[in-house]
Amino acid sequence: MERSSGTVRKGAWSREEDTLLQRCILKFGEGNWHLVPERAGKCRKSCRLRWLNYLSPNIKRGIFSPDEIDLLIRLHNLLGNRWSLIAGRLPGRTANDVKNYWNTHQKKKKKQQQQQQEEEEEEEEPAPPVDHHNQISDCETKISFKPIKPKPRALSSVNRSLLRTSSLNINADEDDDAAGEQNTAPVKEIRETPLALLTQAAVFGEDGSYGLDDLLLSGKHDDGGSGEGDDDHFDPSHHDFLFDEHPWMKSLHLE
């Protein structure tokens, strides 16, 4: 598949390589990655990644603002680990940035949660008397830290194929257009529309494990797909924001 040129270099990008790549992109345009590698001295994928994640003028660098973090959390709740989609809604941020931020964020939270759980377990250890009030509060904390599993992190190959077939059916319900038109719709387009996201939820729900209602209503118990408890500060009203206020959701006329 990948054409392996002998001159392709691995590792960190040097200043010279960066300028070379920038020149290539100026010359050939963004997207013509097949024209770049030999000239930039790196493989096609590296060139693309370097441009998209670092050299592109649209990139916003630096720490995430509270607003961005808030939006990121909400989007992750909704979309799961679909970093490119999330990044698409965070202007100037790349999928890699978002992913990196989330991973470190998650690590910290996980650690904190683990510590908290251990502390709780230590406290409980000396034969806890039956106390209904404590039972409830304990239950609540556990629920808030233990997400419902399993959840798809992203579309597995199986789910993708399911989506490709099922989404068309669901589209048929959603839209009274001719089936032929739906069948010719590019899969990429299907995958990246809000409808597709809902479709995914519907598809996952077919086995009873992950329904659209879960997505919409599970609130703080739903971490949105990474399978790791992330959001102990979750505010259920965030869903209201996403589904009522967001332009693309408005466009769906969802109730």
**Binding residues for DNA, per CB under 7 A?**
1-3, 10-13, 31-34, 42-46, 48-50, 53-54, 81-85, 95-97, 99-101, 103-104, 107-108, 111, 153-154, 157, 160-161, 164, 186-188, 191, 226
Least Å distance between CB 252 and DNA? 21
C-beta atoms surrounding 36 within 10 Å: 26
What is the smallest separation between the CB atom of 91 and DNA, expressed in angstroms? 15
Name the burial class of residue 231, with classes exposed (0-12), middle (13-18) and buried (19+) by CB atoms within 10 angstroms of its CB: buried
How many CA within 13 A on the CB side of residue 168? 15
Q: How far is the CB of 135 from DNA (least distance, A)?
A: 33
3-state class (DSSP) for residue 81:
coil
**Residue 213 C-beta: closest distance to DNA, Å:** 23
Taking the least distance from each CB to DNA, the nearer of 34 and 142 is 34
Closest to 103 measured CA to CA, from 235, 15, 228: 228
Residue 42 or 239 having the CB closest to DNA:
42
141 C-beta neighbours (distance < 10 Å), count: 15
Taking the alpha carbons at both ends of the chain, their separation in whole angstroms is 46
The smaller minimum CB distance to DNA, of residues 163 and 202, is found at: 163
Nearer to DNA, 91 or 186 (CB): 186
Please confirm whether the linkage preceding 66 is cis (ω < 30° from 0): no
Nearer to DNA, 107 or 146 (CB): 107
**What residue type is 11 in one-letter code?**
G
Task: Report the nearest approach of DNA to the CB of residue 176 (Å).
Answer: 23
